[in-house]
Structure 1
Amino acid sequence: MSETRNGKCLCGAVKVEINLREDNAELHACHCGMCRSWSGSALIGMAVKPDDIRIEGPVRSRASSDWAARDWCDTCGSTLWYRLTVPGHEFYHVSAGLFDNAADLPLTKEIFIDRKPSGYAFAGDHELKTQAEMEAIFASFGKETGQ
């Protein structure tokens, strides 16, 4: 399975094309404090490898940690994606809200689950990871790259 989906920011200045494959045709939710502050809620999106995304338009970026950056439309400010920047582990967590047809994808993972507000509850059975579990994963990336 391989499928192309097209999305855009609120004003349409940034256009995004992603290839969904069998291994990434799913949604993930991040409840970390940065994602909640940046998006106003959990950031729900799709994990996309750099080779599977094409971007056109005025994108601004800010390093938000030692391992990631957050990007937005420079015209309207729409949240676009969280981008993992660790060499060998790069990927985009592209906001599902950019796509009219993301609602048909299943939610398969929630991360930083112990940081979510108590009133948030996503339906269904899916993988859950805590802040400590995610930080251990990010720390292991540095060991792999000799950092």
Structure 2
Amino acid sequence: MSNSSVAKGSCLCGAVSLSTTSIDRHIAACHCSMCRKWGGGALLAVECGSDVSFQGEENIGIYQSSEWAERGFCKQCGSHLFYRLKQNQQYYIPAGIFDNDEGLVFEHQVFIDEKPAYYSFANETKNMTGAELFAQFAPPSSQS
């Protein structure tokens, strides 16, 4: 999968499908407590920017999970469809939704400080704590 091709996918039941031309081939694992509660484990997702199109939008439910983000799911089968930042409509799509996973690489993990001891990935990745992740997105005036 490259940034110039269209990546397509769907939920488990097929009621919602999506496509994007802005897929980042680097998979990230999020170990935060909200992602783990949402899916029962780490969220493995790819960044897709704001260029994501959905078909079957009437089947999409939205959960406002924080001040800055919301999570989308299929109202029919419950499949997780996206994590979206509200400010810039930036989508993070679960990697397993895509029809073709060729070229995807598990590259980094965030909220590594919240990862429970009962699992561990064998891949060598870049790891960031929650504080390091939030510092990356903080406005310049609030950084020390």
Identify whether the pair has TM-score above 0.5, normalized to the shorter chain: yes
Per-residue Cα deviation, 1:95-147 (whole angstroms, up to 9, x for no partner): 11212322641111110011112132223332211011123335x15969xxx
Q: Which runs of 5+ in 2 are unaligned?
A: none
Distance 1:15 1:134, change over 3 A: same
**What's the secondary structure of 2:5's corresponding residue?**
strand
Tell me the residue number matched to 2:35: 35
Q: Which runs of 5+ in 1 are unaligned?
A: none
- Following TM superposition, the consecutive aligned residue runs of length 4 or more in structure 1 with deviations greater than 6 angstroms are none
Tell me the residue number matched to 1:16: 18
Tell me the residue number matched to 1:102: 101
1-side partners of 2:115 and 2:9: how far apart?
Answer: 27
1-side partners of 2:55 and 2:140: how far apart?
Answer: 31
2-side partners of 1:83 and 1:143: how far apart?
Answer: 25
| C-alpha RMSD of the superposition | 2.1
Shift of 1:81: 1.0
TM-score (ref. length: structure 1): 0.83
1-side partners of 2:38 and 2:10: how far apart?
Answer: 18
Aligned runs of 1:1-147 on 2, under 5 Å? 1=2, 2-20=4-22, 24-51=24-51, 53-57=52-56, 58-86=59-87, 89-102=88-101, 104-138=103-137, 140=138
2-side partners of 1:20 and 1:117: how far apart?
Answer: 32
**What's the secondary structure of 1:121's corresponding residue?**
coil
2-side partners of 1:128 and 1:105: how far apart?
Answer: 18
- Return the letter of the residue paired with 1:125: E
Aligned-pair identity (%): 39
**What's the secondary structure of 1:132's corresponding residue?**
helix
- Residues matched between the structures, number: 138
Is the 2:18–2:55 Cα contact (8 Å) retained in structure 1?
A: yes
